[in-house]
Structure formats: structure tokens, C-alpha cells
Structure 1
Amino acid sequence: MIKLNSKQTSHLRGLGHNLNPVVMIGNNGLTEQVLREIDISLKAHELIKIKVFGDDREQRIQMLEEICAKLDAAPIHHIGKQLVIYRPAETPKILLPK
């Protein structure tokens, strides 16, 4: 899992605010296919928003942690049913503050 300082997280949170969800997690939960979609989206965009259908807050937190652990990403934000995740590309597009 990637570690970011509070300034970097805050910067990414601001950038993530205007994003539309690129991946939806439905009733089947976090399947291998969903993880693959998230991985592809992270490679393309670095910072993505995911929408989770389901009312279980604990389950959403668990999904966020599992996604970040499996895909070596950083959790940026979790508000309601929206998750924002960041993983730098090999040639980063997003410049992070120090």
C-alpha cells in the first residue's frame, strides 16, 4: 500500500472531487473482474472514483482496504458510497506536493 503525507492526500482529494465514478461495485462485491477493471483504470488515470452499491459501511471500508492492498494503491477518500483511490503510473501525470 502506498503511503502519502496529509498534504498529498488533501491535494488528491481535491482533484478527486470532480471525477465521475469509472468502476461500479455491485451486489456481487469485489470480484476478480472488478479488481481487473480497477487495475486498468488506475493504469490509465492514476486517480479514480469507484461507486459501491450496498448500504453496509463496514463492508465498503473493507473493500477499500482490500483494493488498496491487492493493487498497491492508496486510499484517498471514502464518503458515502464513493471511494477515491490513487496509484502513480510509471510516468506520473499527477504532480504531488512534497
Structure 2
Amino acid sequence: MLTGKQKRHLRSLAHHVQPIFQIGKGGVNDQLIRHIDEAIETRELIKISVLQNCDEDRNVIAAEIAERSGCELVQVIGKTIVLYKESKDHKEIVLPRA
């Protein structure tokens, strides 16, 4: 579980990150989760954009992705979801103490 201070730090780092996945009318599926797992292991911090044609609520989508991929949900702002997961092999982000 991330503290408020850690989430603020991650939000500041995510500001310049571009979304690498898009969720449309197909919603969340196993293939998307697998790709998110691979990407987050390499990058630790990713953004996902929810397209206009997606019928589901973005907060529900964000919670589902975080739960299924084992990530921490940092922020849902507008149609953008920010996720974080500490990498086992490519650790670059140092979080402030809890």
C-alpha cells in the first residue's frame, strides 16, 4: 500500500510519461493484462488512456486492472490511469519513506 507522500512522488514522475495502452470498447481482457504485466515490469510506472468509446466507468476499469495485474493504483485523472509496481529486475524508482 502506498502512502500519500509516495503517491504524490509517483504522480510527479508520471506527469511526463505518455500513455502506452488504450482501452476502448473491448474493455479489459486477459491479453491486455498480460501486456500490462510485461510493460510494468520494465518501466515500473505506466499510464493507460481510456477512450471515448469505452462503455465502462474508468474508476472500475482502473480498480480491475490494478487487482488483476497486482499493481498499485496511483491516480485516475480524467481518462488517464496511472499504475505503479516495483520491478524485480529493473528497479529505478526510489520511493520516499512511508
Tell me which amino acid in the other structure corresponds to 2:93: I
Tell me which amino acid in the other structure corresponds to 1:47: L
Instruction: Note the 1:59-98 alignment, pairs <5 A.
Output: 59-91=57-89, 92-98=91-97
CA-based RMSD: 1.7
1:40 to 19, 38, 46: 38
Tell me which amino acid in the other structure corresponds to 1:4: L
5+ residue gaps in structure 2? none
Tell me which amino acid in the other structure corresponds to 1:73: C
Would the aligned equivalents of 2:47 and 2:82 in 1 still touch at CA under 8 Å? yes
1:7 to 5, 8, 28: 5
2:30 and 2:52 map into 1 onto residues whose CA distance is 18
2:53 and 2:66 map into 1 onto residues whose CA distance is 21
2:24 and 2:88 map into 1 onto residues whose CA distance is 30
1:6 and 1:58 map into 2 onto residues whose CA distance is 27
- Tell me the TM-score normalized by structure 2: 0.90
Give secondary structure in 2 for the equivalent of 1:37.
helix
Count of residues paired in the alignment? 96
Give secondary structure in 1 for the equivalent of 2:37.
helix
Q: 1:4 to 1:57 in 2, by over 3 A?
A: farther
> Following superposition, which runs of at least 4 residues in structure 1 exceed 4 angstroms of deviation?
55-58
- Tell me the TM-score normalized by structure 1: 0.90
